[in-house]
């Protein structure tokens, strides 16, 4: 099994609804995001997936979130913009981007809110 991982970053603001503590207030993060793809078969030139193609798909998701107020952005206008919900949303969107490549699978999305705090989503 091969794994390919990229790291990208974006900045966004949010406030957690129904949370009692500092994070219920308006604040922002400089997020770091790892997306890992896996598969067992390489293409004719020896790649599982081209890093450029993976980054393009991930950027289509993260660019919509970058420098945004997440609470107003679907789906976070309906669900809390927690790191957990954000990681799953990123995962779901990247899966859509790979719909035409059944030989690869999105393995995980890891999202850091700070240098010391992250969440990982795996299906």
Q: How far is it, in rounded angstroms, from Cα 64 to Cα 89?
A: 12
Catalytic residue among 8, 33, 89, 113: 113
Task: Give the DSSP letter of residue 21.
Answer: S
Whether residue 87 is predicted with pLDDT greater than 90 in this model: the reply is yes
Other CB atoms within a 10 A radius of the CB of residue 25 amount to 9
Percent over 90 (pLDDT), the chain = 93
Catalytic residue among 7, 23, 96, 103: 23
User: Has 23 been annotated as catalytic?
Assistant: yes
Q: Are strands 117-121 and 105-114 parallel, antiparallel or unpaired?
A: antiparallel
Catalytic residue among 3, 24, 27, 67: 67
Residue whose pair of structure tokens reads 């949370």 in the numeric block: 19
For the stretch 75-85, pLDDT in tens is 999 999 999 99
Percent over 70 (pLDDT), the chain = 100
Q: Band the pLDDT of 53: cuts 50, 70, 90.
A: very high
How large is the average pLDDT for residues 36-45? Answer: 95
What rounded mean pLDDT belongs to the chain?
96
Q: Band the pLDDT of 102: cuts 50, 70, 90.
A: confident
Q: How far is it, in rounded angstroms, from Cα 6 to Cα 36?
A: 7
CA distances from 48 to 2, 21, 69, 105 (A): 7, 44, 35, 10
For the stretch 4-28, pLDDT in tens is 999 999 999 999 999 998 878 899 9
- The pLDDT assigned to 33 comes to 98
- The pLDDT assigned to 2 comes to 96
């Amino acid at each position: 099994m091969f794994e390919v991982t990229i790291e990208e970053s974006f900045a966004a603001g949010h406030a957690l609804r129904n949370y009692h503590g500092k994070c219920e207030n308006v604040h922002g993060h400089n997020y770091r995001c790892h997306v890992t793809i896996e598969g067992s078969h390489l293409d004719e030139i020896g790649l599982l997936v081209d890093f450029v193609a993976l980054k393009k798909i991930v950027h289509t998701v993260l660019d919509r979130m970058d420098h945004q107020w997440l609470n107003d952005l679907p789906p976070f206008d309906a669900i809390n913009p927690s790191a957990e919900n954000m990681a799953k949303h990123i995962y779901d969107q990247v899966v859509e981007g790979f719909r035409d490549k059944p030989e690869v699978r999105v393995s995980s999305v890891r999202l850091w809110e700070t240098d010391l705090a992250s969440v990982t989503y795996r299906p």
